Chain A
Amino acid sequence: MLSRTASDLYWMSRYLERAENLARMLDVSYSLSLMPQDGRGDGLDELAMPLLITGTLDDYLERHGPLHGERMLHFFALDASNPGSIYCCLQAARSNAHAVRGRITADMWENINASWLEMRGIAEQGLGRYGISRFCEWVKERSHLFRGATFGTIMRGEAYRFIRLGTFIERADNTLRLLDARYEMLGEEIDELEERTARSYYQWSALLRALSSFEAFAESYRGSPRTRKVAELLLLRPDVPRSLRACMEELNLMLAGLPGENGRPAQRLAAELDARLRYTSIDEVLDEGLHAWLTDFILLVRQLGNTIHTSYLEVA
């Protein structure tokens, strides 16, 4: 397969997964911002969270001044001049798909093209009229549909593998960042007592809902979510589809099946990371300090992404 084609497929699915993750972030922050707050009581800190996590808060402050609910939501979701907005991610995903429309099935192309056309319609209406929760649901639904169309129609060849790689690199990064951000929000030193408060309950359950893992948590652990259990679920459980471990297993599997000698470095790194997660216990993670461990792993995932680039997407 052409390196450029592989690159477009990879980025198409990365951008789409990113759009979905942004919608998940936005959804959880928006619903938490409606809860009675500790401080100022306006929910602005919570609304600023997605900007903080994605590193676009400075950009926002520079362009729009002080925190302002509606403006932040628009900036994050629909602003065509913010390259990190959901709008721009969908645009980029569609543009990548357009470049390789000969390599994806008609079902996939029509799906992603229709999403983009609808996205433009929503942007014209504005978030206020469309509804924020409804918008987040819509983004997730379009992403689900596209993944379903992909899974149901595309040949299990190289194209499929690069599409999956894009999805899971992005997802692994997202799970790590969301967990890290919520943990930071609660403070590093949470004692048992603090963990039982309503605040901690809502923070953790909002995170689990954002990652569609609330049901999985309830089924596996029962009881209220605590740092240790939540971290174990989202980092080390192989059977939770948005967990770091599940992402890494998939990445390893996809890379191992790619032909050619030039992919060795990426294959080796993915296998190493997969093995590390497989044989790590949550105690070791917590001993190292959750925040430090997560920060390390965010860098490792980034390194894997870079290695995939140099190994496959810009060769010869």
Chain B
Amino acid sequence: MARTFYDEMYDASGAVRPHYREFARWLAETPDDLLAQRRREADLLFHRAGITFTLYGDDQGTERLIPFDIIPRSIPASEWRVVERGCIQRVQALNLFLADLYHDQRIIKAGIIPAEQVLANEGYQMAMQGLDLHRDIYAHIAGVDLVRDGDGSYYVLEDNLRTPSGVSYMLEDRKMMMRLFPELFAAQRVAPVDHYPNLLLDALKSSSPLDNPTVVVLTPGRFNSAYFEHAFLAREMGVELVEGADLFVRDDKVYMRTTAGARQVDVIYRRLDDAFLDPLAFNPDSMLGVAGLLSAYRSRNVVLANAIGTGVADDKSIYPYVGDMIRFYLDEEPILKNVPTWQCRKPEELSHVLANLSELVVKETQGSGGYGMLVGPAASKAEIESFRARLIAKPEAYIAQPTLCLSTCPTFVERGIAPRHIDLRPFVLTGRETRLVPGGLTRVALREGSLVVNSSQGGGTKDTWVVED
């Protein structure tokens, strides 16, 4: 299959793109053995710092390193400004959509989104209906996954509005690059990202009507795959990292157990799915949540970030409507493109998907983390046939998209440097305003030809630079 990929570093003629020139010069001048030594050093430092994640489906609960690649992904500032505006526009529209959905439902009444698409959605939470949130913020933290097609234009692959993770790698990757190669940062101006925890704390505080609210990070615990990140963010923000058992609810107020007695909590940055938050209201078997939390939340005595019920807006079956939301709420044209999407719940679209399985990517509408998806061009006949059966059995649970020619970036692999596919996840924060730090997390699929960048599927990360052009 002859497909052209957009390479971040080299143009079609093989020449280095202008914003990579400094780096390419440095790379050519630096001896191979020095690079190899620095790469080993990076591994050692990550290991010693315990910057690891836990793999699910592995009985040992082994902590693994996420492979780190020392060749950065670089974005010219002019290009970044467009991406930035596009992300802000998108997250603003999504927040407006959630506020509307849980109040007047104007967008449904206007016939733009079919009612059954949202009201019968698993992510829709009845308990949120009519509840007023301070500043109407639902998704305080959003991760917008972007990829680039063959011509280099950016597409939004999905919005993550529940508990998007990965921001700690964005920050640690930068720290590592500055530690290993300070000379690179002296040679050109790379926009800083280290103030992210500051912006996060600011967004969390401003989501409460109180002047100086007590903020905590709620983690499922040290065996969660993203525990490192939860601890990292709590430490960087200087707030308590709590588990469900550290909190309790009395008279619809939330308290934490401290060495000096009970202390009230005002804002909870929760890294726990809706279903586990409160055993009284949701999953009764959850040992991770806090009994009575929903009731306290509904009494508006505590802020949850993100709000309950945001999942309805990042569901892949709602994704095709985001462009319409932007037009409806903001009266603007979308800056970032959506990937064309076939909704398998529609019979005519399903038959198109079934006829073209070997060329499409099929995803579960509720899936995440790269689990349970089919990449047609990379799948065997048997895999396609077994997926076909699942698709026919439950078409409404799937959507399909054309296989994008994800852009590539030069990456260290076993035999030297080779192009590997990448994506980009900027983290969008909403408090008094919606903003983001320049860059985001770049994930790289380390296997040759692979398009799946998730760390659970063997993906790695790169430092992401926004450079003045």
Contact = CB atoms under 8 A, between A and B. Distances in A.
Nearest to A158: B259
Contacts of A100: 241
Interface of B (DSSP majority class): mixed
B231 A101 contact: yes
Contact of B261 (A4, A113, A316): A316
B349 interface: no
A4 B258 CA distance: 8
Given A4-B246, A109-B50, A316-B257, A99 B222 contact: yes
Interface stretch (A68-76, A225-233, A256-264): A256-264
Contacts of A261: 261
Given A6-B259, A262-B260, A315-B261, A102 B234 contact: yes
Contacts of A312: 259
B49 A5 contact: no
A105 to B, nearest CB: 9
Interface residues of A, number: 31
Contacts of A95: 222
Interface residues of B, number: 26
B364 interface: no
A110 B259 contact: no
Interface string A156-183: 0010001000000000000000000000
B257 A4 contact: yes
B241 A102 contact: yes
Interface in A194-222: none
A99 B235 CA distance: 12
Contacts of A114: 48
A3 B258 contact: yes
Given A312-B259, A315-B261, A98 B240 contact: no
Nearest to B235: A102
Contacts of A52: none
A312 B258 CA distance: 8
B48 A110 contact: yes
Contacts of B256: 2
Contacts of A1: 240, 258-260
A117 interface: yes
Given A2-B240, A260-B260, A316-B261, A102 B231 contact: yes
Contacts of B242: 2
Contact of A260 (B222, B228, B257, B261): B261
A102 B232 contact: yes
Contacts of B49: 106, 109-110, 113
A90 to B, nearest CB: 15
B262 interface: yes
Contacts of B50: 98, 101, 109-110, 113
Interface string A59-100: 000000000000000000000000000000000000100111
A261 B260 CA distance: 7
Interface in B240-254: 240-243, 245-246, 248
Given A4-B246, A263-B259, A316-B261, 18 more contacts: A1-B258, A1-B259, A2-B240, A3-B257, A4-B257, A6-B259, A95-B222, A99-B222, A101-B50, A102-B235, A103-B235, A109-B50, A114-B48, A117-B47, A258-B259, A260-B260, A262-B259, A316-B258
13 contacts: A2-B242, A2-B256, A2-B258, A3-B257, A3-B259, A4-B246, A101-B50, A101-B228, A106-B49, A260-B260, A262-B260, A316-B255, A316-B258
Interface of B: 47-50, 222, 228, 230-232, 234-235, 240-243, 245-246, 248, 255-262
